[in-house]
Amino acid sequence: MGVGTPVLMIYGGATDGATSAQNVRQGLGSGSGVEVLAFPFTFAYHALEHGIYGVVHLIDLPMCLFYGPAELHPYGPEIKPLDIYSGTWFDTWAAKKGGTDAESGEMMPK
């Protein structure tokens, strides 16, 4: 992620910026001219956003060495997974298969 940040900034900025510009057009109930005028601003915002994400990944990379030992230590901090995919496609396809609940360790019904 960190190494590919320059490419991801342009690609992510363009795709997310185009979607945001289309949303601006729909939200204002306007024509394609508004979408064209909004695109440079939405592109710049999303390119900056993806650049920040890349820098955060680069900063976090050395910390990965400490996450495993911290989790294994009996008195270490409890590291909880992020719950950002709750209710999305990633959550629904896993629920169909059943499996084990990540928090309780109990078997989930299929």
- In whole angstroms, give the CA distance from residue 42 to residue 60: 27
pLDDT tens string 48-67:
999 999 998 888 888 888 87
- pLDDT confidence tier of residue 90, bands split at 50, 70 and 90: low
Please tell me the number of Cα atoms within 13 Å of 28 on its side-chain side. 13
DSSP 8-state class, residue 107: E
What is the mean predicted confidence (pLDDT) over 83-100?
60
pLDDT tens string 16-51:
999 999 999 999 999 999 999 999 999 999 999 999
- In whole angstroms, give the CA distance from residue 12 to residue 16: 6
Q: Could you count the other beta carbons within 10 Å of the beta carbon of residue 76?
A: 11
